[in-house]
Structure 1
């Protein structure tokens, strides 16, 4: 039975504080408090909703908390004593404080006392709590679920610099939430020089941001405005380059390889201009160009060349002459640019022959790494790396463009968002590629952090879609290594990380725990919820029990970027700005005329079935190959 307004002078009162255990408070509901709706100033509020907010006046300030548990289990003391306390209890987790009508602030300076009144938070209270402190630094991403007239704001300073994670099961609205967040960032009226890099494994976001994003893809459709993805191999460290191009190399072959790398880099001319660095300061890790094709040719010659000893010269003298004078091996031919192998006279020791032919100085060393390098240089899927357009290297170490042009293309001011579409990259090298790009970007803004375009002057946000694919818990891949470094150090140098995953339990805890803000959509898997809960602050863990029942597009936002935890309905991006992640329709709905609104699905017979275009797109690794035919309207 609902009480009348006259039964209590303060209709917002719920009960009183009966137990305080750190930031957790047990509240006994008053006998007059109804179990359903509570009316305050003509507005209806539900009583005892997990995730709801309460206000505890304490002296000159109001303490605010979130309801984490309802019922007998929220009573103080051990569970076996709960029945004698009854079931009209709330457990509150304190999150902040504020004076009436003033700005809300996270954290509390004092605790409530036993007997303090506890009140439902009204809509006017919520406006105070959720009002952005400085509207220039906040963006609205949705609406508060319990009061849809109130916008849900995120603090961009903390969202970017303190890292964040967007998690949710497939179909929970995760991709739309990311598109909405980045769409807000790309608003040039608010952020005139934003810099965001998005790693898109499945090509979902290519058209989600319109002209506010540049899309990089292997085999780009330049007519549609896409840009060819080039990653210069010479911008990698020596370890990254060797691992990516040759696999494991050790011992004498590694020493020989490093000598050749160093020699090539010292003679390089990035952008056609000598680098101007003293030879002693150039290392194998210095990002200077060298010809990988000439490197392969030279190493192949050293491993496979043969040499002759005349009648008047022994092998030791011939070897010494080769080392001192650099005498070329006999009959060496080939073309490094065309990957034509040098050919040499075969080994022989025949008495009647005037010359004795013997193997070169390195002929007995293994050369499996050279065969691997050659196969990758011939692989058309790897040309984005070894023939990177303007950053391709001639035999003399000259390139058309330097790394400044590469960085301008990747994170320049002409567009706020760069989408790296990795759907055409071989699966075997995605980890190494993502790690290499991350390392290039991080090193650039780290060493240039005091410059105008450095990370401290213009922060960079890196968004990693499907993070569980290459940031596994036990992963030692280059992507995971680079992401761990950014998660631990990036805040100081202006590099923020946003992880997006449908399986947070498979993401490295070290990385996920560094995320100061968590935007959690519906999560049905228990291990995923446990992982997310473990990364949240202790006094908010009870809130995550609601994750399995969140609606599509609804999220629980906790952490640095919000004043207090928000259960928010994320705005859906407008038509034409949504990622390509909608579920395929099995049963096509009918229009007002009773006919199917389009063909497809399982509801209508197929007309003019033809798998040839499908095979063409498959072979070209391009879903738009041959154009896209308009679906045939089914016969009714």
Structure 2
């Protein structure tokens, strides 16, 4: 059959369809005629150009259906008839054409069945047959979008309302989102923390026996989960120092740089191995390495260092030993490090620590909030490294057991997996989070990264996140980073990122059927994090009890200050 015959057949189908009518804005079964708003101008794979009539777009602006009212605008959807299917496309850009027309670039989202009465049903992502130039373009209705965005039977959580509708719920599919990691991005003040709390609350409600560990660097989330999870901070964390591997020991105990550091590492490795080997547990497991989580006494490590110094022929050779010993003495004497370096006696608390930290069992409180805001800055990255590595190693060594998938959520992720800068600090946490991003899903470990500066993240980490939730980003470098990480079909949505309102998000990737723009639900006050900005005008009117406030603050400052 010739191209002309195909075109004639296609135009005939459109004529028949137009005469039969098309459903309008309501949810009733009465077909309502909706005239086309333009025609396809150019087809180029997933992206195409259409010519829209400006007068028709103005007419649509008066329709009571919000989907029809915004159809044809940037970030909204239009549809085209192709055979027995409807093709849904997202409008990415618009520019003025000739003779009262508007030329729009659109990205195809997917297709569904075109029922006899014009309804859209059975929507699926992807396109099997493209329209031809000249095909008519129609506005979408709320009923169309309900078919497009309706959640299927897979386990999912609802997080808000899909733009531009008033009642269609935005859903995230739990298994695809967690199975291939996710990232929540957004500038300060966009409602990012509250939105993250909402997502974690909904996941916890869907899976009350789940296992979630969240690293909270600012102490924001304790308020949000005090009744729904376990809160850990420097007062009750009780993180045993001997759980650190050799790399983490080096970050805490070594102060030297460059050529001196290698010698210090060799000395520490020898002394640490001997200290671990003194535990009777070492005999049970045979081969013990400097990385083995075998308890050892700090007094033993200190004595071994002193003994090694005594074997030296020249006093000058003792300098690296003294450096390590002085740092060890400093940590043991500093009350800020009591949560990690405390007690003369050491017991094997590894089982207990894993059980409480990973919520095994959860008992209806599936999330651990680890507030590291009170952790001394010198060891914050090391503490996060130990926790992240414990998550990964537990999953790695439990492969022969009944699988207990773990979700690790890392707030302010750019702190821990920053771009390479040549610094020795924080390399352990960077390496383990990069490893979880690349390999975690093999072992049932999911990673959730939350950041306001995606451009400062290490190369490739964001691209490992299968689902990206982007709120408003004001920095152009951050916007470019997100564009590079998101799939091509989401470009029309990405252009809206700088213009998003607070609590609005663009979601694309594995966790959704197609890219969506969602307004987050309002979270109950008792479930919100303590992250709201203070009102200077209001707070500065509040006076009284200044002396008492200062006294209490200074007492806490002196007792727990960094």
Equivalent in the alignment of 1:353: none
Equivalent in the alignment of 2:15: none
Equivalent in the alignment of 2:494: 544
Secondary structure, counterpart of 1:50 in structure 2: coil
Equivalent in the alignment of 1:11: 34
Secondary structure, counterpart of 1:576 in structure 2: helix
Secondary structure, counterpart of 2:390 in structure 1: helix
Deviations 1:549-591 (A, max 9, x none): 2111111112111111111110121021110011101233xxx
Q: Is the 8 A contact 2:275 2:300 kept in 1?
A: no
Equivalent in the alignment of 2:134: 115
Normalising by structure 2, we get a TM-score of: 0.85
- Which of 250, 264, 276 matches 1:242? 250
Secondary structure, counterpart of 2:69 in structure 1: strand
240-249 vs 31-40, which deviates more?
A: 31-40
The separation in 2 between residues aligned to 1:126 and 1:540, in whole angstroms, is 17
The separation in 2 between residues aligned to 1:553 and 1:164, in whole angstroms, is 18
Secondary structure, counterpart of 1:229 in structure 2: coil
Q: Say whether residues 1:69 and 2:93 are aligned partners.
A: yes
Tell me the CA shift for residue 30 of structure 1. 4.2
Deviations 1:228-258 (A, max 9, x none): 1122222222222232223457566544543
Deviations 1:475-504 (A, max 9, x none): 562222111111111122211111111122
The separation in 1 between residues aligned to 2:226 and 2:497, in whole angstroms, is 32
Tell me the CA shift for residue 40 of structure 1. 7.0
Equivalent in the alignment of 1:484: 434
Secondary structure, counterpart of 1:132 in structure 2: coil
Equivalent in the alignment of 1:80: none
The separation in 2 between residues aligned to 1:214 and 1:432, in whole angstroms, is 21
Secondary structure, counterpart of 2:546 in structure 1: coil
- Which of 317, 325, 330 matches 1:370? 325
Structure 1 residues 170, 88: closer, same or farther in 2, change over 3 A? same
Secondary structure, counterpart of 1:68 in structure 2: strand
172-181 vs 421-430, which deviates more?
A: 421-430
Q: Is the 8 A contact 1:195 1:460 kept in 2?
A: yes
Q: Is the 8 A contact 2:391 2:406 kept in 1?
A: no
Select the structure of larger CA radius of gyration: 1
Structure 1 residues 382, 94: closer, same or farther in 2, change over 3 A? same
Deviations 1:150-200 (A, max 9, x none): 11100111111111111111111101100100000111xx31421111100
Structure 1 residues 424, 58: closer, same or farther in 2, change over 3 A? same
Secondary structure, counterpart of 2:414 in structure 1: helix
Q: Say whether residues 1:176 and 2:194 are aligned partners.
A: yes
Secondary structure, counterpart of 1:530 in structure 2: helix
Q: Is the 8 A contact 2:90 2:492 kept in 1?
A: no
Equivalent in the alignment of 1:579: 529
Normalising by structure 1, we get a TM-score of: 0.75
Question: More helix by proportion, 1 or 2?
Answer: 2
The separation in 1 between residues aligned to 2:377 and 2:99, in whole angstroms, is 59
Q: Is the 8 A contact 2:247 2:428 kept in 1?
A: no
- Which of 48, 56, 67 matches 1:33? 56
Equivalent in the alignment of 2:391: 441
Secondary structure, counterpart of 1:582 in structure 2: coil
Unaligned runs of 5+ in 2: 1-17, 23-32, 115-119
Q: Say whether residues 1:60 and 2:68 are aligned partners.
A: no
Equivalent in the alignment of 1:276: 284
Q: Say whether residues 1:106 and 2:45 are aligned partners.
A: no
Equivalent in the alignment of 1:323: none
Structure 1 residues 40, 363: closer, same or farther in 2, change over 3 A? closer
Tell me the CA shift for residue 146 of structure 1. 0.8
- Which of 36, 39, 49 matches 2:73? 49
Count of residue pairs brought into register by the alignment: 517
Structure 1 residues 62, 290: closer, same or farther in 2, change over 3 A? same
